[in-house]
């Protein structure tokens, strides 16, 4: 890789120079990324990813605390908790208190199935009985 770098304003394009207005419009941000090998160079092109700011009210502990408060109120409708906007079935998962290697899946009707998580998916055990 050459140590010198042409800028967009001086780089020939079909034998002509690009005007400075076009160079400004087409300019991008380039950043070097550290690599373990000295002969390898990685350059990221484009703006860096901006992290979205999450308000204190929307952070996980606060959301879970609010959900628990709603669930503990008498008269909370199970249909409302297990509702899905995409039409897919919604389940609640918990760890089995008798055997922590097992997971319990509960649906909107209250039917509980014992199983395990395999590759990130719930698999009901062959001997799983519905509780």
The mean pLDDT value of the chain amounts to 75
pLDDT tens digits along 76-131: 777 777 888 888 888 888 888 888 899 999 888 888 999 998 998 999 988 755 55
Which one of 13-22, 59-68, 79-88, 119-128 scores highest in mean pLDDT? 119-128
Neighbours of 103 (CB within 10 A): 19
Average pLDDT over residues 20-45: 75
Q: Are residues 38 and 77 in the same domain?
A: no
Q: Are residues 77 and 109 in the same domain?
A: yes
Please report whether residue 7 resides in a domain.
no
Q: Are residues 63 and 93 in the same domain?
A: yes
The domain of 82 spans 56-124
Q: Are residues 21 and 80 in the same domain?
A: no
**Spatial separation of the C-alpha atoms in residues 7 and 23, rounded to whole Å:** 8
Q: Are residues 60 and 24 in the same domain?
A: no
Q: Are residues 35 and 70 in the same domain?
A: no
**Spatial separation of the C-alpha atoms in residues 6 and 78, rounded to whole Å:** 64
- Residue with structure tokens 């062959």? 126
Six-digit token string for 110: 């209250």
- Is the pLDDT assigned to residue 14 strictly greater than 80? no
Please indicate, yes or no, whether the overall pTM of this predicted structure exceeds 0.85: no
């Amino acid at each position: 890789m050459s140590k010198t770098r042409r800028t967009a304003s001086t780089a020939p394009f079909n034998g002509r120079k690009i005007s400075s207005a076009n160079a400004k419009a087409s300019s991008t941000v380039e950043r070097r990324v550290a690599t373990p090998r000295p002969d390898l160079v990685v350059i990221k092109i484009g703006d860096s990813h901006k992290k979205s700011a999450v308000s204190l009210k929307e952070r996980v502990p606060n959301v879970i605390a609010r959900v628990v408060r709603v669930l503990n109120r008498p008269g909370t409708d199970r249909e409302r908790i297990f509702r899905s906007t995409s039409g897919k079935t919604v389940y609640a998962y918990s760890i089995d208190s008798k055997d922590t290697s097992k997971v319990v899946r509960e649906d909107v009707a209250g039917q509980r199935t014992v199983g395990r998580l395999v590759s990130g998916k719930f698999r009901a055990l062959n001997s799983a009985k519905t509780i």
